[in-house]
Structure 1
Amino acid sequence: MTASITTTLRGRVVTDTAVIEDGVVALTGDRISWVGSASRWAGDAVPQSATTILPGLVDVHCHGGAGASFPDSASADLRTAVLHHRSRGTTTMLASLVSAPPERLIGQTALLADLYESGDIAGVHIEGPFLSAARCGAQDPASLRSGDPGLLKDLLGAGRGAVRSMTLAPEVDGFVAVAELLRENAVLPSIGHTDADAPTTRRAIDSLGIGPITATHLFNGMPTWHHRAPGPVSECLAAAARGVMVLELIGDGVHLADETVRAVFDLVGGARIALVSDAMAAAGMSDGRYRLGPLDVTVQNSVARLSRDTDPETAPIAGGTSTVLDLVRRAVQNAGVSLVEAVRAGASTPATSIGLGSDIGRLQQGMRADVLVVDEKFEPVQVIRGGTAIEEDE
């Protein structure tokens, strides 16, 4: 039997609890075999480096990239989006769908199940169709419907174990029945695209019982937090503070102000936040026209909005064009979040939320060898997934 080769990396190492200013990460086969200060490394000498070494990043809400769209593209094109995000350091991701007619949702779920079975994605996130028409955002209002356990069963069957999370609104008819079915099948419920008031949101959170819950892109797709009508935002923040919810944030400077991102980190910490790209097909592409499910999208100055005969500055935002690495960088450089907390929100917290926290998301001995090396500008220098270096054109 051929012995596994050990790869060693040296630089500023970001663990889940600290920054090692001069550290070494050793990878043997597909596992991390050692992490620590360079002064304690007993193996062969490793040259010093000005790089920063992060765990591979985890995106639990992503609709596509590099011109490919998980809700729309044919099977042959779906991996293109995965590879774009992987080349930028996202070594684990869920492929997100949007509200669509049942046959379309079932068909795309089945296609994405192939990517799940090949190991290219960690699963499927279904955003809708059990959502509020009043807060549908870039979701197709014609595709929205009441909670339908029968449709969910069809989606679970088409997914062949791939469906990991689903966004639904607490106020839709059938919420409880759908939520119960999600729990029975170990699918993560995520509250979002909701017009619910605070009491309705709290009842929904309480009804989900013990187990992980997330908020789909907090603040976006829900009422503004008002001091006399706090709505779902206050309840989601409170639930995160109690330790029962993880809050998705699209911290790209478009969906949320940097000050909002910093405030949420100050309130609940990176262990309760998942930075998500919500990226659509235009991520990594030039401005132009794209699709997001059944709807047309126009991207101008890298901002995606629904194509409507209205002011493009006020049309609903239609997903993002960033990667999780972009969000981690912005959290640190623009929002003033600590590097450890930002990386935690980009890696270990989302990994834990989808049940993979024991294997990915941290630079720790025994974890899968998923590593992102970045330069002083936080641009990728090297991406390693499962111990294998990723090439940009792979």
Structure 2
Amino acid sequence: MTTQVLRADRVLTPDREVVDGWVLVEDDRIVEVGQGEGPDGPWGPPGPRYAVLCPGFVDIHNHGGGGSAFGDGAHAALRAREAHLRHGTTTMVASLVTESADVLAQQVRALRPLVEAGDLGGIHLEGPWLAERWCGAHPPGLLRDPDPAEVAALADAAGDALVMVTLAPERPGALEAVRQLVGRGVRVAVGHTDASYEQTRVAIESGASVATHLYNGSRPHHHREPGPTLALLEDDRVWVETIADGVHQHLAVVRATARRAGARWVLVSDAMAAALAGDGSYTLGRLAVDVVDGVARLREGGSIAGSTLSLDRAVRTAVAAGVPLRQAVHAATAAPAAAMGWDDLGRLEPGCRADVVALDADLHVGAVWLAGHPVGSPTA
């Protein structure tokens, strides 16, 4: 049995803050969280004291990073995972963009073994059942209405690895797809949608429980037609995603959304291959993307094409926007884990997996432990 004691000026569990705290880890599990000198035992000399310890980040919407995309096969997926792991993301859902049914089936079959091995937390289909008007970086010619047979075939190909699907609930057959997917244990998110407030309400009643990057890629709010945003934001059953990169939303919107959503607020990266890889030319699915000054846009049309974000930077951006650190950490850890139904992730509590991130005083990652094992330091 391997035992270690991790110490910090502040330990964010994140439901509480322990000043001058410590975390006792045995093998891959957290045994105890306490305050002061630390537990007695043959632990050897004290290790370094960090500024902040928090749970490993949980990213439930991520298309890639480190120059690789999740749609490009298992080896590329592992490279993307490794890039984000060094920046504190210890659990990652692999998001796939709109494609033909055959290609999506191939992609989920390639990723499924990584989920079963524990390298990935699950698979997220963002498309192909989205609205053309708000397609963003999805090929409009491939968008379509959800057919029960296609939904079943893709879910069968992914098996239990499929954890979330984003769709536009106004499309014909979409509400049936919501019920079909929820019946299989898959979370359904509303996004890239032209739905009205009323249509979104029906989707939530049918089982939709996540708002895909709220505000982005959907009908905008209007005081006489509030659209999907208000319906998603006001319902306590819905987890609300935000891309806090300073590009997708004004920082005042980030702050206001965090305040309104509260414990339901979820930070996601929506990262594409360029995340943690630098400027240049990339692809997102079938579409060419140019990244300039860290902003990814489609070469044709100029639409924002995902982000170059990592969750550690999302936490820093949220705090810079005025969100309290503990809430920002909660939104990057406990909230996304709860949204997916993972009760042993995203928390520093006895019995939880020992995924831990050490942050310095400026909230940059200094060390990462995955299931109790230290991993490499950030390199970008």
TM-score of the aligned structures, taking structure 1 as reference length: 0.92
Name the CA shift for 1:157/1:163 in 2 (closer, same or farther; >3 Å).
Answer: same
How do 1:4-83 and structure 2 match up within 5 A?
Answer: 4-11=1-8, 12-39=10-37, 41-43=39-41, 46=46, 49-71=49-71, 73-83=72-82
Counterpart amino acid of residue 275 in structure 2: A
Aligned partner of residue 170 in structure 2, secondary structure: coil
Of the structure 1 ranges 298-307 and 256-265, higher mean CA displacement relative to structure 2 is found in 256-265
Measured against aligned partners, the alpha-carbon deviations of 1:207-266 in whole angstroms (never above 9, x if no partner) come to: 22xxx7100000000122121221111111111xxx210001001101111111110111
Deviations 1:369-393 (A, max 9, x none): 0000111222221111111111259
Q: Which runs of 5+ in 1 are unaligned?
A: none
The answer to whether residue 216 in structure 2 is matched with residue 220 in structure 1 is: yes
Alignment of 1:213-252 (within 5 A): 213-239=209-235, 243-252=236-245
Does residue 372 of structure 1 match 2:357? yes
1:97-176 correspondence runs (5 A): 97-176=96-175
Q: Choose 34-43 or 124-133, whichever is displaced more.
A: 34-43
CA distance in 1, matches of 2:184, 2:50: 46
Higher mean displacement: 296-305 or 195-204? 195-204
Counterpart residue identity of residue 227, structure 1 = H
* Aligned with 2:366 (options 359, 381, 385): 381
Secondary structure of the residue aligned to 1:202 is: helix
The SS at the match of 1:51 is: strand
Secondary structure of the equivalent of 1:291? strand
- Picking from 339, 345, 348, the partner of 1:360 is 345
* Residue 276 of structure 2 is aligned to residue 284 of structure 1: yes
Q: Which amino acid aligns with 2:219?
A: P
SS in 1 for 2:176: helix
Q: How many Å separate the matches in 2 of 1:324 and 1:9?
A: 22
1:256 aligns with 249
Give me the whole-angstrom Cα distance separating, in 2, the residues matched to 1:151 and 1:188.
17
Q: 1:138 to 1:104 in 2, by over 3 A?
A: same
Distance in 1 between residues matched to 2:157 and 2:173, nearest whole Å: 21
Whether the 8 Å CA contact 2:240–2:261 is kept in 1: the answer is no
Q: In structure 1, what is the Cα distance between the partners aligned to 2:11 and 2:93?
A: 26
Question: For residues 79 and 148 of structure 1, what CA distance do their matches in structure 2 show?
Answer: 31
Q: Secondary structure at the match of 2:160?
A: coil
Residue number in structure 2 paired with 1:345 = 331
Distance 1:387 1:373 in 2: 13
**Alpha-carbon distance between aligned partners in 1 of 2:13 and 2:377, rounded to the nearest angstrom:** 25
SS of the residue corresponding to residue 60 of structure 1 reads strand
From 304, 309, 321, the counterpart of 1:322: 309
- 2:73 and 2:48 map into 1 onto residues whose CA distance is 45
CA deviation profile, 1:178-213 (whole Å, cap 9, x unmatched): 1111111100000000011111111221222xxx71
Q: How far does residue 58 in structure 1 lie from its aligned partner after superposition?
A: 0.1
**Counterpart AA for 1:280:** M
Distance apart, 1:40 and its partner CA: 6.1
Counting matched residue pairs gives 376
How much has 1:335 moved relative to structure 2? 1.1
CA contact (8 A) 1:100 1:129 kept: yes
Cα distance per residue 1:329-349 (max 9 Å; x no partner): 1111x1111111111100001
Sort the Cα spacing of 1:102 and 1:47 in 2 relative to 1 into closer, same or farther, 3 A. Answer: closer
2:332 maps to a residue whose letter is G
One-letter amino acid of the counterpart of residue 335, structure 2 = T
Q: TM-score, length-normalised on structure 2?
A: 0.96
- Determine the C-alpha separation between the residues in 1 that align with 2:158 and 2:186: 12
| Structure 2 unaligned regions, length at least 5 | none
The alignment partner of 2:49 has SS state of: coil
Question: What is the distance in 1 between the residues matched to 2:305 and 2:170?
Answer: 23
Deviation at 1:90, TM superposition (A): 0.4
